[in-house]
């Protein structure tokens, strides 16, 4: 026996006592309005049709979905607690994707080009990111301020490791809040940061899963994400800062990560 699908337009049946309820789409987590006399709902974001009995009421399960701004504030605070120098919420429309920036990974060739699943040519690039970005309205950007000389030393990998770990933790925190489609990206190549002591990427060689799936995130460079414009959107310009607490002025740089929230 097949179940009839129907999706109510408000006001179709003024006599009915049916009222709309909000549910979470099991695929993308977006709010879906389903009336009490309906069995199924269709997500207008990903077009998934699902039965409301198979998913929890969005407002009851995920109170942060009621107030996105409160969620974003909590996520930026968490980033600071985890070690970020600062974190800000921005709109997805503030993210600039530029093809020419992604091309720089190949020419002049980056030393990590092609060495991991998180770097070109193994990522969908600017076009793929533009399609992904259509599903989001908000993002969190975070930075770590670091003396310039450290980024030129062997310690740079420790800084980038921390950057990836913070970004992945913010991603998971957003998911726990009900933003199931959240996705993190960070500066630096995961091969150099996490697997520099290994000859190859296990994923690319099809010899198993990623060695660091909880923390390694794709590099922003391969998608053409303009980091300078991200900093400007967050209010972190100019690019170089000065640390005044030392007797001698120290030149500082920033490394950044971004988490799409949705």
Contact between 138 and 234 (Cβ < 8 Å): no
Residues 84 and 18 in one domain: no
Query: What's the total number of domains in the chain?
Result: 2
| pLDDT per residue as tens, the chain (262 positions) | 333 343 444 444 444 567 788 887 777 777 888 888 888 888 887 788 877 765 445 545 566 766 899 999 999 999 999 999 999 999 999 999 999 999 999 999 999 999 999 999 999 999 999 999 999 999 999 999 999 999 989 899 999 999 999 999 999 999 999 898 999 999 999 999 999 999 999 999 998 899 999 999 999 999 999 999 999 999 997 655 455 555 566 789 999 999 999 9
Which tokens is 218 given? 């794709």
Last residue of some domain: 43, 61, 79? 61
Residues 132 and 227 in one domain: yes
Give the pTM. 0.75
Residues 39 and 78 in one domain: no
Contact between 243 and 252 (Cβ < 8 Å): yes
Residues 154 and 78 in one domain: yes
Residues 197 and 246 in one domain: yes
Last residue of some domain: 36, 61, 86? 61
Contact between 220 and 187 (Cβ < 8 Å): yes
CB contact burial 1-34 (16+ within 10 A = b; e otherwise): eeeeeeebeeeeeeeeeeeebbbbbbebbbbbbb
**By three-state DSSP, how is residue 121 classified?**
coil
**By three-state DSSP, how is residue 245 classified?**
coil
Residues 4 and 70 in one domain: no
| φ/ψ (deg, to 5) at 224 | 75, 25
Residue-range definition of the domain harbouring residue 68: 64-261
pLDDT on residue 184: 98
């Amino acid at each position: 026996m097949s179940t009839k699908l129907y999706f109510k337009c408000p006001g179709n049946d003024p006599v009915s006592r049916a009222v709309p309820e909000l549910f979470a789409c099991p695929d993308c987590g977006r709010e879906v309005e389903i009336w009490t006399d309906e069995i199924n709902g269709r997500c207008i974001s990903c077009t998934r049709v699902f039965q409301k009995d198979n998913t929890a009421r969005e407002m009851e399960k995920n109170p942060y979905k009621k107030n996105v701004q409160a969620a974003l504030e909590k996520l930026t605070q968490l980033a600071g607690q985890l070690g970020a120098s600062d974190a800000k919420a921005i709109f997805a429309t503030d993210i600039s994707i530029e093809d020419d920036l992604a091309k720089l990974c190949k020419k002049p060739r980056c030393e990590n080009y092609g060495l991991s699943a998180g770097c070109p040519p193994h990522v969908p690039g600017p076009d793929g990111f533009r399609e992904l970005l259509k599903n989001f309205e908000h993002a969190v950007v975070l930075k770590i301020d670091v003396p310039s000389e450290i980024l030129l030393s062997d310690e740079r990998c420790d800084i980038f490791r921390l950057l990836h770990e913070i970004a992945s933790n913010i991603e998971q925190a957003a998911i726990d809040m009900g933003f199931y489609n959240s996705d993190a990206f960070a500066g630096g190549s995961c091969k150099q940061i996490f697997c520099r002591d290994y000859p190859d990427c296990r994923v690319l060689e099809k010899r198993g899963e990623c060695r660091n799936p909880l923390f390694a995130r794709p590099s922003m460079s391969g998608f053409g994400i303009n980091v300078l414009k991200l900093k400007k959107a967050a209010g972190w310009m100019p690019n170089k800062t000065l640390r005044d607490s030392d007797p001698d002025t120290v030149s500082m740089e920033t490394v950044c990560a971004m988490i799409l929230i949705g």
